[in-house]
């Protein structure tokens, strides 16, 4: 059991002003595996003041100095990479094989990639008789979710530090133990005090205090669209910069020439990864009407190969949902889908046989789904797939784009040029063609109500920069 009773502020572990604490639950066993202290608005204020005080000196450090600090953090995290994977599998329920890659490998790599980005980033360019320089935006509040907790933290903290910003991190209270591990690492390498600060707490208290704080220059938030609207509303009062990565209802289009032997396993993986608790999960599968029977048979056969259970078992590829609240929410959506007339192909709202303990939901696939149904329009955030048929390519694109969201999507075809042409018509920030892998160097973010701004690679570094034009004399 890990017990964290202090916050990390001004380079020190400090007792919080807040007096409450929160248990951390293992979603596979329902056992308490940790307890954290919960900060309040006073703790948020102290962290912001520390970051504000440290900003000028940190912003003046050289690019090579900041790259060296990021490399130190990377190396210290790498030593603890297996510990991170095991920890997050216990916090979130992610199967250990996926956890080693996505929950540990990606965030560890993010700090090294941020250091590498600094070596090529154009901090100064000449435009006519002006020198245009890029400078750090200032104090950044990073508010992060529970589904890929350390990855989302690293995707914000690493480029913010690289840019020369100082940071206050508020992780999700549902899966916070990994954030304390990062703070331990940062403390161990000796990062200057105040440059990184950690305050735990709930969104309506600590999150809102950070979003509205006059000394916070930017908020980078990942979470629900509802919460993102609130962050934007509060941040607008001080006209601070806001980067939002919000919900999604991504469509995966199988074109009529798709190879189902690879497309169906790939489509199911893209939907059920991390038990569907993925913002870019491809939860709508659009299939040609003429291939409907073929697709449904392939889906049933492929799901039979899924193994649900203890996420620490390397053979398991489907773990529990993160909490009882989340499990119950997903089950309600499954029941709603049935009420609205969709048909269950496989799965359902009942507890999986033999898994009465833990927050498990069976991988569920609906057929005869109409685009206006709740399960086809709202983000469920669980292992629920809606199969929707179409007659023409034009109709498939129209259905895919008929959403308030625009985060991810997919296209499957034996003709790469045809797939790319369809992908260009999708109003989303990311499209996977034939199941292509995630790229840490490519920009990540959404259109429409999936948010604004981009993370990762040089595009993510850019988010934490301001432009300054210095007009120079011409003679």
**Residues annotated catalytic, as ranges:** 245, 279
**Among 249, 230, 245, which residue's Cα sits nearest to residue 452?**
245
- CA angle, corner 383, sides to 379 and 386, nearest 5? 65
Residue 297 has which token pair?
Answer: 């048979």
Question: Where do we find the tokens 């735990």?
Answer: 200
**Among 142, 148, 82, which residue's Cα sits nearest to residue 312?**
82
CB atoms within 10 A of CB 325: 11
Give the 3-state secondary structure of residue 185.
helix
- 254 sits in which H/E element: strand 251-254
Residue 224 has which token pair?
Answer: 């629900």
The crossing angle, in degrees rounded to 10, of helices 260-272 and 292-303 is 60
Give the 3-state secondary structure of residue 121.
coil
| C-beta separation of 115 from 51 below 8 A | no
| C-beta separation of 281 from 248 below 8 A | yes
What Cα–Cα distance (Å) separates residue 373 from each residue in 104, 279, 339, 421? 36, 19, 10, 28
């Amino acid at each position: 059991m890990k017990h964290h009773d202090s916050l990390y502020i001004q380079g020190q572990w400090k007792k919080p002003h807040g007096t409450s604490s929160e248990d951390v639950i293992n979603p596979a066993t329902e056992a308490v595996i940790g307890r954290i202290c919960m900060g309040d608005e006073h703790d948020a204020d102290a962290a912001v003041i520390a970051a504000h005080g440290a900003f000028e000196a940190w912003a003046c450090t050289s690019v090579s100095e900041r790259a060296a600090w990021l490399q130190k953090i990377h190396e210290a995290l790498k030593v603890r990479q297996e510990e991170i994977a095991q920890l997050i599998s216990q916090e979130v329920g992610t199967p250990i094989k996926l956890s080693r890659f996505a929950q540990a490998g990606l965030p560890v790599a993010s700090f090294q990639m941020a250091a590498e980005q600094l070596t090529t980033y154009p901090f100064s360019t000449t435009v006519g008789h002006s020198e245009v320089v890029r400078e750090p935006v200032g104090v950044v509040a990073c508010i992060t979710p529970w589904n890929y907790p350390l990855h989302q933290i690293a995707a914000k903290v690493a480029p913010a530090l690289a840019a020369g910003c100082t940071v206050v991190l508020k992780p999700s209270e549902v899966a916070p133990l990994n954030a304390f591990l990062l703070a331990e690492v940062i403390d161990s390498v000796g990062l200057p005090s105040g440059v990184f600060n950690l305050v735990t707490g709930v969104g309506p208290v600590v999150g809102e205090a950070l979003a509205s704080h006059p000394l916070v220059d930017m908020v980078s938030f990942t979470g629900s669209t509802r919460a993102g609207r609130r962050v934007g509303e509060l941040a607008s009062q001080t006209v601070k910069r806001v980067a939002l990565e919000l919900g999604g209802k991504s469509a995966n289009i199988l074109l009529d020439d798709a190879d189902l032997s690879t497309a169906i396993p790939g489509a199911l993986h893209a939907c059920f990864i991390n038990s569907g608790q993925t913002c870019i999960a491809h939860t709508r599968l659009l299939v040609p009407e003429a291939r409907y029977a073929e697709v449904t048979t392939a889906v049933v056969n492929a799901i039979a190969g899924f193994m649900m259970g203890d996420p620490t078992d390397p053979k398991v590829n489907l773990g529990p949902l993160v909490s009882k609240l989340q499990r119950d929410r997903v089950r309600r959506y499954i029941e709603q889908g049935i009420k609205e007339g969709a048909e269950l192909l496989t799965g359902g709202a009942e507890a999986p046989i033999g898994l009465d303990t833990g927050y498990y939901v069976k991988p569920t696939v609906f057929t005869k789904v109409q685009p206006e149904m709740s399960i086809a329009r709202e983000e469920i955030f669980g292992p629920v797939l809606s199969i929707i048929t179409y007659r023409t390519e034009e109709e498939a694109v129209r259905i895919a784009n008929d959403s308030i969201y625009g985060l991810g999507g997919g296209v499957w075809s034996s003709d790469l040029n045809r797939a790319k042409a369809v992908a260009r018509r999708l109003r989303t920030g990311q499209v996977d063609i034939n199941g292509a892998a995630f790229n840490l160097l490519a920009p990540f973010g959404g259109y429409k109500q999936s948010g604004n701004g981009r993370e990762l690679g040089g595009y993510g570094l850019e988010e934490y920069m301001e432009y300054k034009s210095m007009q120079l004399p011409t003679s």
